[in-house]
Amino acid sequence: MKKTQSFTENFSVSSVVKKIFITPIGFAVLVIAFIILIRSLLARNAYEIVLSCTALLFFLTLGIIGTWRARKLSQMEPGWKPPYPMTANTNKDTIISGLDPNIPLFFRLHFEVKGNYLPSASSAPPRLRARYYAETSIPRNEISATLKIDFPMSGTFQGEGYCRLRDIFGFFSFPCGHTLHRTLSIRSSPCFGKDYYINAQSGAEDRRNKHSTDEERYYMREYTPGDRFRDINWKSSEKIDTLITRISPDNQEKVSRIEVHLRNFCATKNPSLEELWLLDRAKARLSHFLRNLREQQSSFIFDIKAANANSWEIETEEDLDKFLEDLASLPFVPPQNEAIQASGKTGEIYVFSTACDVGLQSFLVANQQKSVSLFMVQPNFSHREHRDTEPTEILFKRDFLLKGCLLHPRWLLRGKIKPMTVQAAKTEIIYAGTKI
């Protein structure tokens, strides 16, 4: 409720600005034309009188035509369909449809998108949030157009899209059509890490689909191409109208349950852009990990836990897609007491964390009886020997401006993050940093 209220307050000023139809250029031209007219009347200069009157008449004509046509377009309902999934640094086209092709001469229809962009779903106050703006001009006699909406890293975008009718001279800009509101989850750009292979028997739980009310199907499964016809249980198949194949209890398919922890903890109240970039890379590595294992074995089931007791069970592709949408909107969370609690299960666990996680070592100690695979995102070292030997994923701050994002000056300050040393059974370090 509070987030929705702040979102509405942020756009209250922009709503007033959108109703102003004379642009700064048009206002300047209007003032200059009036000054010339007054000066020419005082000086009785016929040439200047004709020139200023012509300019004012042309200005007035454009204003009348634009006002009339904008009212005609007030009920236009443009379609704004962002690409799904929305992924950072993909530069995909957003389709704008449902536009009116009947635009007067000397006018063009524009579609604008503006709003608040929260890198890595930062919980920064409204004054610190990045402002985003994108615009496209619709060609004459066209009912659709494309608009490139892109972001340099993962996060959340809360914005609105609307049409404006503008003259080609830049004097007027009339609002028209309905305003569309969108909240988009931007997924992390791909992390091309190395593939990870796990043994399906190591620490995994075998789940057998046995039902007390269906003992007859306990040692059976649905027929798949390649099964022998002599193994088909025709009696059971006839009852349920589905081909059922007999299988031995020793050959039942094993479903491996994999325990994953995303530790999105950070002690900083308002994280810097560097810290948010570390979280973005941790999300990207987790996405790569899940997709990589799903490609190896579709029967894997992932039990994922994050801060604030958030948990997911991923069993199907639909579950994975929904989790990746939620993952894009996960922000940093202050350290909590639950950070030092053991997970309570046996077997191997996989932990994704950053150098901002001050409680990571305590968590590893609490789970020292298990085999822990740690994926750690660290800031890039400042020493020359490490920069040359360790690949670092770099975020260029200038990309924000190039993609239409206006950062608060605070985001441009370099955050002070120290590399963290932790011990785990298996550790993979991912280095990340920012540059201007």
pLDDT digits (tens, 9 = 90+) for 245-277: 776 544 444 557 889 999 999 888 888 889 999
Query: Rounded CA gap, 288 and 407, in Å?
Result: 29
**In 3D, which of 428, 423, 307 has the Cα closest to residue 365?**
423
pLDDT of 18-27, one tens digit each?
566 889 999 9
Query: Rounded CA gap, 7 and 405, in Å?
Result: 17
pLDDT value at 198 more than 80: no
What residues does CATH 2.60.40.10 cover in the chain? 2-187
pLDDT, average across residues 240-246: 75
Q: Tokens 């007859």 belong to which residue?
A: 216
Strand order in the sheet with 86-87: 86-87, 173-187, 155-167, 107-119, 130-138, 405-406
pLDDT value for 262: 93
pLDDT, average across residues 214-227: 57
The residues, any chain, with a CB within 8 Å of residue 134's CB and separated by 6 or more, are: 112, 113, 114, 147, 148, 149, 404
Query: Rounded CA gap, 164 and 137, in Å?
Result: 10
The tokens describing 66, both together, are 């634009």
**In 3D, which of 322, 298, 300 has the Cα closest to residue 310?**
322
DSSP 338: G
pLDDT value for 9: 43
> To which CATH superfamily is domain 2-187 assigned?
Immunoglobulins (2.60.40.10)
Q: What percent of the chain has pLDDT over 70?
A: 81
